[in-house]
Amino acid sequence: MTSARIVVLGGDGIGPEVTEAALHVLGVAAKRGGKSFETRDELLGGIAIDATGEAMPERTREACVAADAVLLGAVGGPKWDDPRAKTRPEAGLLGLRKAMGVFANLRPVRLHAALADASPLRRDRIEGADMVFVRELTGGLYFGTPKGRAVENGVERAFDTLVYDQNEIERVVELAFRLAAPRKKKVTSVDKANVLESSRLWREIAVKVGARHGGISLEHQLVDSCAMKLLTHAKDFDVIVTENMFGDILTDEAAALAGSLGLLPSASLGEGPRGLYEPIHGSAPDIAGKGLANPVGAILSAAMLARHSLGWTDEAAAIERGVDVAIAKGARTRDLGGTLGTREMTNAVVDAMSQAAGQGGGA
Ligand SMILES: NC(=O)c1ccc[n+]([C@@H]2O[C@H](COP(=O)([O-])OP(=O)(O)OC[C@H]3O[C@@H](n4cnc5c(N)ncnc54)[C@H](O)[C@@H]3O)[C@@H](O)[C@H]2O)c1
Ligand SMILES: CC(C)[C@H](C(=O)O)[C@@H](O)C(=O)O
Ligand SMILES: [Mg+2]
């Protein structure tokens, strides 16, 4: 059996801390399942700017497009925040997503009743809530042109362009419908069709794709009221598909409902099995280097990597079960109101995986 090839981009701030934790857990799961992988570290973000002057060096791009999967921590931080800088760490991340062609960013959100104390929601509004966001990742405001600055009549202007073509919308909505089929068979398409032309096209295409998927319901929701309904009716959602910027914002909100930004994983997928996996949080400069980061979002991202890019379904399930059991037994980092550091939380997950395996259900 050949070894899976994973490129690891620790990045900045807490990025290296959480990717190390995730690789440790993935290593334990792989070993138990008789699987193996090899890793190659590359630079992305601020650390890459410092070393090479580029946020995504060519060597990083080449390694990522040749790998089976890429595991990323986070990029960015105050050191590179000068608004007039030639490049920013975040530009490296956007360039990588584009270079890998990962147009769909899956962000699953399961609300653990055991974390009701960390969530702003009441326990009865949490229990059973289980949704997955499908965020369009390589279009919209992030990538549209023209984009830039100009001075007209002595007045400085800055502009971004929100543009989607029908194919970009169709492929991501199609993926959302396929995801909904084995779930609760409900797709919520989120837009701002009362104002934005791009959203009106989005809605038309969503209806067209929906017509191909009998048995799966499609509802449209405006992004502002969707933000509200996440708070009041979290259990009503199943698969939520939306454009790049709306998805970025709504998923941080959903993470807070789950209990912490540190909990949520993501998988960015394109046409083939190769993917880019990263927790949804950032580099958390306020806690970087202190060993306090919650590693769960990164650990669950490694589980998604195992399932989607390597086909290791048992190993992925074992990691997810380990996280569930550790949380149910009370393991909590500080963001969840507990006292554990990154290493202790990681060990709690590994211990829980061992117990589950001992009970006959593990990897
Ligand atoms: N995918 C990415 O690489 C990514 C994502 C978001 C933000 N960023 C970048 O990160 C930098 C900081 O951004 P920000 O402060 O707005 O967002 P952030 O996600 O880094 O942090 C927001 C808050 O959540 C906390 N937090 C985040 N992850 C946590 C974890 N795993 N455990 C415990 N607490 C956690 C932080 O301590 C902070 O209080 C910026 O440069 C931003 O562009 C990068
Ligand atoms: C850092 C930034 C470019 C990124 C995004 O907006 O996509 C982040 O917020 C995320 O959610 O992955
Ligand atoms: Mg974000």
Which one from 12, 68, 142, 191 is the annotated catalytic residue?
142
87 and 187 share a domain? Answer: no
DSSP string, 227-282: HHHHHH-GGG-SEEEE-HHHHHHHHHHHHHHHT-GGG---EEE-SSS-EEE--SS-
Rounded Cα distance, 265 and 107, in Å: 6
Please determine, for the modelled complex, whether the ipTM score is greater than 0.90. yes
Is 312 marked as binding a ligand?
no
124 catalytic? Reply is no
93 and 139 share a domain? Answer: no
27 and 88 share a domain? Answer: yes
253 and 268 share a domain? Answer: no
Listed in sequence order, the DSSP H helices in the chain are: 15-32, 46-52, 58-66, 89-100, 123-126, 166-180, 197-211, 223-232, 244-258, 296-308, 313-328, 342-358
190 and 161 share a domain? Answer: yes
> Which SS3 state, helix, strand or coil, does residue 67 take?
coil
Dihedral, 171, 177, 179, 185 alpha carbons, nearest 10? 170
| Cα–chain center distance at 319 | 17
Among the candidates 258, 288, 306, a domain finishes at 258
311 within some domain: yes
pTM above 0.80, yes or no: yes
* pLDDT (0 to 100) of residue 361: 40
CB 307 within 8 A of CB 258: no
**Ligand number with the minimum distance to the CA of 252:** 3
2 and 92 share a domain? Answer: yes
Among the candidates 216, 233, 258, a domain finishes at 258
254 and 268 share a domain? Answer: no
112 within some domain: no
CB 15 within 8 A of CB 72: yes
95 within some domain: yes
Ligand 1 atom with the smallest distance to the CA of 80 is 41
Q: Which residue ranges have their beta carbon within 6 Å of ligand 1?
A: 14, 18, 74-77, 90, 93, 261-262, 278, 281-287, 293-294, 297, 335
Q: Which residue, judged by its Cα, is nearest atom 9 of ligand 1?
A: 282
* pLDDT (0 to 100) of residue 195: 98
CATH of the domain at 132: 3.40.718.10
Is 79 marked as binding a ligand?
yes
360 within some domain: yes
* Tokens 């090479």 sit on residue: 52
324 catalytic? Reply is no
Ligand 1 pocket mutation, candidates 248, 281, 299, criterion most atoms within 8 A of CB: 281
* Joined tokens for residue 131: 């949704």
Block means of pLDDT (10 residues each) for the chain, 363 residues, are 90 98 98 97 98 98 98 98 91 98 97 91 90 98 96 96 98 98 98 98 98 97 98 97 98 96 98 97 98 98 98 98 97 98 98 77 37
> Which SS3 state, helix, strand or coil, does residue 327 take?
helix
* pLDDT (0 to 100) of residue 362: 37
114 within some domain: no
327 within some domain: yes
142 catalytic? Reply is yes
113 within some domain: no
Whole-number Cα distances in Å, 81 to 53, 77, 171: 15, 7, 34
Structural domain harbouring 344 = 1-105+264-363
86 and 174 share a domain? Answer: no
Q: Specify the number of domains making up the chain.
A: 2
248 catalytic? Reply is yes
